[in-house]
């Protein structure tokens, strides 16, 4: 039974639940979209499986290096016909039963440092798998960022075109009224109808692009197909957040670090470069292992075995007695000297040497690519920042010109064709402003990534 006090809490909670249900999903910002994509991407799941394989490989290499191989075996068989009597070592014809048990252990004392190098290779393989996972994560985040900004861009264009359609509809309705009053000619009205049709056509195309880019973002995030994705699309929030970070300062961009320091940091810490460097290390170890296989190998093994036998029609000792009496131990030291194996070891050395040359060239190419990408990203960031500042100024001027031309059109001081030209310039200026801002944000994010800040943490 509800009292007056707890009934108030009950109805308050019920009202909050209804409000949340009515509002639906909370809009996701860029950071939320990145985290969701990382958590649900099939590429990340595939790479995580690769990390698991690397962990297993490291465990196997450690066990091969530090622990012996231990085996247990047994067999039993019936023999019908001629066989050897183990007591007299003579042949006889009778049915016999033989049963054998054994345990053995062996370890390689020297095998050309194969186990040691394999263990080092497996440890480096763990580092490679981890860096590959980071690289996949960065690729996903960058793709999500570009798709997210495209969605915001086309959503803002849709809003602008909707405003323009509304203004064109009002202007057309007023022009028709003025035509009835004899204040405007029919040609002017037809021109304004054509202008409205153009605006509606552009609005439809822009909505289609918005839907397409939103679908791309949903695919990158692996968003459920039966749920609607809502994201933050307030254009002003991006410009405001950018100003708060201090990336734009007046008419110039002041990088937080010098170009050379960013390049040096990227060449040392970039996942792609680190992966290529570790692959060179592993290739050197594999080449050394192949060379050492030309030397003899040394192994140590020990074991114990026992047996039981019986003959049809003959009296034999019991199983327990034979199990104890027939038991024996052994220890074995073996050496294997390679003499001729049809050039397989020499061929392995040649292949490993070629593999080392290949990964060394790939490392040089990767370092060159990363350095070029960093310098290009810094240059693009500075250029896009200046372009954004100029686009801002152009948008402000065109907005003022559009307002003045709209008043002139209402007063009949300019023709609809002249107003359409001014309107087109205004729309283009707004689109250029948004496009240049988002380009700058992406280039700035790329530079920060090469400087050690992951996309998801920006």
pLDDT digits (tens, 9 = 90+) for 100-120: 999 999 999 999 899 999 999
Phi, psi of 163 (to 5 degrees): -65, -40
What span, in angstroms and rounded, lies between the C-alpha atoms of 35 and 273? Answer: 25
**Measured between alpha carbons, how far is residue 8 from residues 1, 13, 16, 307, 382 in Å?**
13, 9, 12, 85, 58
**Measured between alpha carbons, how far is residue 181 from residues 170, 175, 193, 195, 206 in Å?**
17, 10, 18, 22, 36
- 45 token code pair: 């799941």
Q: Label residue 118 exposed, middle or buried (CB < 10 Å: 0-12, 13-18, 19+).
A: buried
Answer whether CATH 1.10.1060.10 is correct for domain 29-67+113-295+343-457.
no
Instruction: Please name every residue paired with 453 in a beta bridge, in sequence order, or none if there are none.
Output: none
Query: Would you state the pLDDT for residue 25?
Result: 67
Residue 26, number of CB atoms within 10 A of its CB = 10
Strands 91-93 and 82-84 come out as antiparallel
Give the whole-number percent of the chain exceeding pLDDT 90.
59
Per-residue pLDDT band for 24 (boundaries 50, 70, 90) equals low
Q: Does the pLDDT at position 184 exceed 70?
A: yes
Phi, psi of 307 (to 5 degrees): -150, 165
- 352 token code pair: 């490993």
Residue pair 316/309 in contact (Cβ under 8 Å)? The answer is yes
What span, in angstroms and rounded, lies between the C-alpha atoms of 227 and 441? Answer: 29
Residue pair 172/192 in contact (Cβ under 8 Å)? The answer is yes
Phi, psi of 451 (to 5 degrees): -95, 10
Per-residue pLDDT band for 177 (boundaries 50, 70, 90) equals confident
* Closest alpha carbon to 270 in 122, 163, 369: 369
Residue pair 127/274 in contact (Cβ under 8 Å)? The answer is yes
Higher pLDDT, 430 or 16: 430
pTM of the model: 0.77
**Measured between alpha carbons, how far is residue 65 from residues 25, 84, 110, 118 in Å?**
54, 43, 11, 9
What span, in angstroms and rounded, lies between the C-alpha atoms of 364 and 345? Answer: 29
State which H helix or E strand residue 417 sits in.
helix 416-450
- Domain definitions of the chain by residue range: 29-67+113-295+343-457, 77-110+299-337
Provide DSSP, 228-282: ---B---HHHHHHHHHHHT--BTTB---SS-HHHHHHHHHHH-HHHHHHHHHHHH
What span, in angstroms and rounded, lies between the C-alpha atoms of 3 and 98? Answer: 86
Chain Cα centroid distance, residue 401: 47
Higher pLDDT, 5 or 59: 59
Highest mean pLDDT among 1-5, 163-167, 239-243: 163-167
Task: Tell me which residue has tokens 């002249």.
Answer: 418
Task: Tell me which residue has tokens 């003025």.
Answer: 178
Residue pair 94/311 in contact (Cβ under 8 Å)? The answer is yes
What value does the mean pLDDT of the chain take? 85
State which H helix or E strand residue 328 sits in.
strand 328-336
- Average pLDDT on 121-146 reads 95
Ranges of beta strands (E only) in 32-145 are: 69-79, 82-84, 91-93, 96-110
**Measured between alpha carbons, how far is residue 329 from residues 75, 98, 101, 299 in Å?**
18, 19, 12, 17
pLDDT in tens, 255-313: 456 899 999 999 999 999 999 999 999 999 999 999 999 999 999 999 999 999 888 77
Residue pair 424/160 in contact (Cβ under 8 Å)? The answer is no
**Count of helix runs (H) and strand runs (E) in the chain:** 11, 6
The 3-state DSSP class for residue 103 equals strand
Query: Would you state the pLDDT for residue 12?
Result: 38
> Where is average pLDDT lowest: 157-161, 221-225, 235-239, 307-311?
235-239
> Where is average pLDDT lowest: 65-79, 280-294, 307-321, 330-344?
307-321
Provide DSSP, 283-322: HHHHHHHHHHTTS-EEEEEEEEEEEEEEETTS----HHHH
What span, in angstroms and rounded, lies between the C-alpha atoms of 285 and 118? Answer: 8
Residue pair 382/316 in contact (Cβ under 8 Å)? The answer is no
């Amino acid at each position: 039974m509800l009292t007056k006090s707890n009934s108030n809490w009950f109805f308050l909670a019920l009202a909050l639940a209804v409000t949340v249900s009515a509002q639906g999903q909370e809009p996701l910002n860029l950071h939320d979209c990145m985290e969701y994509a990382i958590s649900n991407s099939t590429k990340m799941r595939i790479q995580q499986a690769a990390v698991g394989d690397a962990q297993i490989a490291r465990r196997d290499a450690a066990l091969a290096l530090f622990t012996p191989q231990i085996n247990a075996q047994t067999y039993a068989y019936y023999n019908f016909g001629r066989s050897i009597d183990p007591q007299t070592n003579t042949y006889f014809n009778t049915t016999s039963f033989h049963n054998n048990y054994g345990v053995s252990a062996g370890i390689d004392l020297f095998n050309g440092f194969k186990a040691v190098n394999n263990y080092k290779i497996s440890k480096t393989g763990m580092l490679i798998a981890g860096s590959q996972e980071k690289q996949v994560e960065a690729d996903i985040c960058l793709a999500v960022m570009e798709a997210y900004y495209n969605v915001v861009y086309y959503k803002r264009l849709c809003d602008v075109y909707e405003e323009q359609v509304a203004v064109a509809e009002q202007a057309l309705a007023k022009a028709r009224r003025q035509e009835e009053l004899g204040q405007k000619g029919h040609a002017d009205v037809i021109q304004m109808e054509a202008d409205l049709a153009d605006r509606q056509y552009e609005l439809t195309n822009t909505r289609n692009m918005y839907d397409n880019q939103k679908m791309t973002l949903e695919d990158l995030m692996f968003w459920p197909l039966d749920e609607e994705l809502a994201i933050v699309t307030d254009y002003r929030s991006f410009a405001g957040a950018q100003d708060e970070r201090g990336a734009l300062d007046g008419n110039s961009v002041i990088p937080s670090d010098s170009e050379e320091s960013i390049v040096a940091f990227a060449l040392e810490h970039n996942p792609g470069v680190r992966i290529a460097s570790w692959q060179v290390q592993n290739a050197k170890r594999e080449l050394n292992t192949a060379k050492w296989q030309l030397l003899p190998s040394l192994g140590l093994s020990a074991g114990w075995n026992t047996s039981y036998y019986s003959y049809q029609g003959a009296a034999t000792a019991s199983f327990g007695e034979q199990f104890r009496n027939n038991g024996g131990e052994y220890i074995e030291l073996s050496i294997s000297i390679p003499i001729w194996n049809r050039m397989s070891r020499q061929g392995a050395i040649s292949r490993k040497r070629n593999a080392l040359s290949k990964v060394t060239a790939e490392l040089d190419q990767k370092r060159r690519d990363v350095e070029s990408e960093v310098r290009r990203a810094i240059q693009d960031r500075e250029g896009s920042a200046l372009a954004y500042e100029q686009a801002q100024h152009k948008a402000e001027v065109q907005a003022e010109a559009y307002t003045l031309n709209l008043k002139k059109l209402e007063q009949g001081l300019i023709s609809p064709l002249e107003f359409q030209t001014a309107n087109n310039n205004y729309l283009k200026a707004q689109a250029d402003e948004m496009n240049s801002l988002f380009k700058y944000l992406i280039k700035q994010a790329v530079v920060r990534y090469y400087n050690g800040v992951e996309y998801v943490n920006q």
